[in-house]
Amino acid sequence: MLKNSVKQLLVFTLMILLVFSLGTPAPVYAYDAITGNNSFETAYIIGHWQYKNIPTTILSENENEAYYKFTANAGEKVYVRSSYQNEYAGMKIEVFNKYFQRIDVGTSVVNPSSVIPFIYANADSASSSETFYVRVSRGNYTGDMYFSISIYDRIKSGSGTFNFSGTAVNNGNVTLSPAGVDSSVITMDLTNNTTIPKHAIVKSITTSSTQTPSQGSVLHKIMPDQTGIWYTSTVSSATSGSYTISLQNQLYVARKWSFKYNAKATAKSTMTNVRATINYQYDVTDQFSYQ
């Protein structure tokens, strides 16, 4: 009986120890943290930005700056961010190229009222792999500082389908013009559409619709008010249109758009349920809210 009681007590004690070991985060000791990286020459080497889990930095009270070094592949656009605390007022983050020339600086606090506020600076790699340096400065705080550095891809993609208002009417190609006849114009206004990320750029766009009666040799046309240029679909179809619009055109999604269609048939027709499906690209940092 006594043996069983002792055995049960030992099992209970081990369970308590296991719960504490799993539920309590391990403290950050000096050998887990980054220290002594207080110049370009002693910069902490991250390597390629995408594959690193960077330890916490301890900036000693007698040091003012911490440095880091990372690489980015050709064409990659990233932002480097440092965690922030309210008592760290004046804290600054800077990004330099391999020649130690500053290319960006960040002091504004992102998400200041959240539990994870941060400051950041951008880095864009050109046509080849590039090396960058990061410098974090303490600002007005005195004493040891604890913060973490992380690097993220800035460029993201998304898509949405949006509706034109009204009905486009084509009176028919009664003159038998080889160029066909354009319909009336309908529009959609995306300027205040909150589902579209700020400064999103069109990657590609297609339109779809219902034509009554359905006809052959029909071309869709769209126009953003940004350029005032009509873009004609590359596919002849009453129900769909695709366009040679890409990122190179630098067209913003959140604009006013117009639509019409060209028909060669002599009979009158209408087009309803006109929609535009837009694939777009946007910069994550354009979406940040600041202090």
pTM, entire model = 0.83
Average pLDDT over residues 69-81: 96
* pLDDT confidence bin for 16, thresholds 50/70/90: very low
Q: In whole numbers, what is the pLDDT of the chain averaged over residues? A: 89
Q: What percent of the chain shows pLDDT beyond 90?
A: 81
Give strand pairing partners of 146.
58
Average pLDDT over residues 188-217: 96
Average pLDDT over residues 103-131: 93
Residue 194 predicted with pLDDT over 50: yes
**From 29-33, 114-118, 162-166, 227-231, the region with the lowest mean pLDDT:** 29-33
Average pLDDT over residues 86-115: 94
Residue 80 predicted with pLDDT over 60: yes
Is-contact 256 190, C-beta < 8 A? yes
pLDDT at position 128 is 87
CATH classification of 30-153, choosing from 2.60.120.380, 3.20.20.70, 2.60.40.10, 3.20.80.10? 2.60.120.380
- Please name the residues in contact with 257: beta carbons below 8 A apart, sequence gap of 6 or more: 164, 187, 188, 189, 190, 222, 223, 224, 225, 276
pLDDT at position 31 is 53
Residue 10 predicted with pLDDT over 50: no
C-alpha distance from residue 33 to each of 28, 41, 62, 102, 214 (Å): 7, 18, 17, 26, 69
pLDDT at position 7 is 39
Average pLDDT over residues 71-76: 95
For residue range 209-258, what is the model confidence (pLDDT) as tens digits? 999 999 999 999 999 999 999 999 998 788 899 999 999 999 999 999 99
* pLDDT confidence bin for 26, thresholds 50/70/90: very low
Portions of the chain given CATH number 2.60.120.260: 157-284
Cis peptide before 213 (omega within 30 of 0): yes
- More confidently predicted of 20 and 215: 215
Portions of the chain given CATH number 2.60.120.380: 30-153
Average pLDDT over residues 87-104: 96
Is-contact 42 133, C-beta < 8 A? no
The class (CATH top level) of 157-284 is mainly beta
